[in-house]
A and B are shown apart, each in its own frame.
Chain A
Amino acid sequence: MSHPPNVSHLSTERLAALSDESPNAAELAHLATCAECARERAVYQNLLELASSESARLGAPLTSWERLAPALVADGVIDNGRPLPAVSRARRGRSGWMQAAAAVLLVGGGVVAGRYTAGAAVLPTSAATARPAVNDSVPHFASVEEARAAQVQSQLTFQTATAFLAQRDTNAAVSETPATIRTRLATLDQVREVVGKALNDAPYDPVINGYYLTTVGQREATLRQLNTALPAGMRLTSY
């Protein structure tokens, strides 16, 4: 023991406190001569560093959108075009997205009105409409609103299917190394930057918004995939 016999060791709790508190003069003097207490203090500082690094650690998600979305629809938070509870509607402002949707309808309506006032048929009568359906699975839309709803639904279906495949498709996972996932991640970052700049110029453009959201969603899904694909002992510290 390298400390003077009349000086007792620091208590366990005090040593635990000294990982983020300063020792007083007497404690400092003791730590300078007692290897045991000095080592214990260092151990607690390591523990604190370990805990701090824990804050950046990501784990497997606890929630899934497939489970969360129905609850949000029932709660009136998600508006899929269905009537919402009065309270839910009242608490929402009519902001950009609704204005954009309204603008799309107005433009669509304007085109229709223009054709009508110009003496043309409201709907094109070209070969496009006369042409028989090539494939019964190709949808036909009666209105802009219907097409728009289908577009949103398709986007969601695509994102959900991609996330599902990323988690469950083990055949694909075999060929996806961390290197290929990183390449995808870097590409998605570039796409996000480009589409993000476009979003600045046209913040309410529904197509650009759609691309941006898809890119963001894909990037996060890829990050999760990379986190699980890394070798044991390695982990992401941020995302």
Chain B
Amino acid sequence: MDHEPLIIRRALDGDEGALRALWTRHAPHIDMVVRRLVGGDVDLAADIAQEVWIQIFRALPSYRGDSQFGTWAHRIAVNRTLNALRKTRRLASIETEVQEDSASVEPDHERTFVAQSIEAAAAKLSPGACAVFMLHDVEGYTHEEIAQELGITAGGSKSQLFKARAKLRKLLAHLVDVKDISISGKESLHVTSTERVAPVY
């Protein structure tokens, strides 16, 4: 049973407990979205996340309940983060950044030092390529939505995504490589990911 609408109504009246309840419930996801889009700069991500939450609560009176609060807040987080990154010029010249970025990959001996998560590997991409990859493959945005958010074409978004994937494929080889495959009609995939997944509790 979800009583979030009641909490939101209290939050609209400025009740700190309700505002905090919303923050507590959604911060793990919202902060994670910001962290992914910003990349490795944790201080910058923390500053942007702070701005994001202020913006979410400022905009609360405009929340109509047409979608889940989390979905609505997520959209604000993406918009606000991309705007903040634009201000810091981290998304400038997206097209050329991706081109240059895809041209070079760390040599093998450095690859062992690449952190073992997508978040860390994506931080090796240019900010623009990281944003396209995170928005499409992680957050589930369409190329049309990404194009709108980033001010590029849908085709440009696709092109950048495939280049970003190509680089991540090398950076995350230890997680995604396939050992054997049969081409006799049926593919036998062997996912080499060692990460176990825990239930909620």
- The interface of chain A, by Cβ under 8 A from chain B, is 2, 12-14, 16-17, 19, 31-35, 38-39, 42-55, 57-59, 61-63, 65, 67-69, 71-72, 75-80, 84, 88, 91-98, 152, 155-156, 159, 181-182, 185-186, 193, 196-197, 199-200, 203, 209-210, 212-213, 216-217, 220-221, 223-224, 226, 230, 233-239
Inter-chain CA distance A213–B22, complex, in Å, is 9
B165-184 vs A, Cβ < 8 Å mask (1 yes, 0 no): 11011001101111001010
Residue contact B16 to A78, C-beta cutoff 8 Å: yes
20 contacts between A and B (CB under 8 A): A19-B165, A31-B183, A34-B183, A39-B178, A44-B165, A46-B191, A46-B193, A50-B118, A50-B193, A51-B137, A77-B14, A77-B54, A79-B15, A92-B13, A186-B201, A197-B1, A216-B21, A234-B195, A235-B197, A239-B200
Q: Does B63 have its Cβ within 8 Å of any Cβ on chain A?
A: no
Q: Does B9 have its Cβ within 8 Å of any Cβ on chain A?
A: yes
Chain A residue with the shortest CB-CB distance to B137: A51
Contacts of B192 in A (CB 8 A): 46
Residue contact A47 to B172, C-beta cutoff 8 Å: yes
Give min CB distance, B30 to chain A, whole Å.
Answer: 8
Contact of B1 among A51, A91, A200, A233 (CB under 8 A): A200
Interface residues of B, dominant DSSP: helix
Residues of B1-59 whose CB lies within 8 A of A: 1, 3, 6-7, 9-10, 12-21, 23-25, 27-29, 31-32, 34-36, 42, 45-46, 49-50, 53-54, 57-58
Total of A-B residue pairs, C-beta within 8 Å: 231
Q: Which of A19, A63, A213, A226 has the most CB of B within 10 A?
A: A63
Residue contact B7 to A213, C-beta cutoff 8 Å: yes
The 4 closest A-B pairs by CB, nearest first: A79-B14, A51-B137, A62-B49, A16-B165
Residue contact B200 to A59, C-beta cutoff 8 Å: no
Chain A residue with the shortest CB-CB distance to B52: A63
Residue contact A96 to B191, C-beta cutoff 8 Å: no
B123-166 vs A, Cβ < 8 Å mask (1 yes, 0 no): 00000000001000111100000000000000000110111011
Q: Does B198 have its Cβ within 8 Å of any Cβ on chain A?
A: yes
Contact of A33 among B27, B133, B183 (CB under 8 A): B183
Interface residues of A, dominant DSSP: helix
What would 7 more interface pairs be, CB under 8 Å, given A45-B189, A95-B13, A217-B20?
A: A13-B163, A43-B176, A49-B191, A63-B31, A156-B16, A196-B1, A217-B24
Contact of B24 among A14, A78, A216 (CB under 8 A): A216
Contacts of A224 in B (CB 8 A): 28
Inter-chain CA distance A95–B185, complex, in Å, is 63
Chain B residue with the shortest CB-CB distance to A88: B14
Give the interface size class of chain B. 35 or more
Inter-chain CA distance A234–B13, complex, in Å, is 40
Contacts of A216 in B (CB 8 A): 7, 21, 24-25
Residue contact B200 to A236, C-beta cutoff 8 Å: yes
The answer to whether residues A233 and B196 also contact, given A55-B138, A92-B14 and a CB cut-off of 8 A, is yes
Contacts of A200 in B (CB 8 A): 1
Give min CB distance, A208 to chain B, whole Å.
Answer: 10
Contact of A97 among B13, B119, B140, B196 (CB under 8 A): B13
Residue contact B187 to A230, C-beta cutoff 8 Å: no
Residue contact B54 to A52, C-beta cutoff 8 Å: no
Chain B residue with the shortest CB-CB distance to A237: B197
Chain B residue with the shortest CB-CB distance to A59: B32
Contact of B17 among A44, A210, A221 (CB under 8 A): A210
Contact of B16 among A17, A45, A58, A69 (CB under 8 A): A69
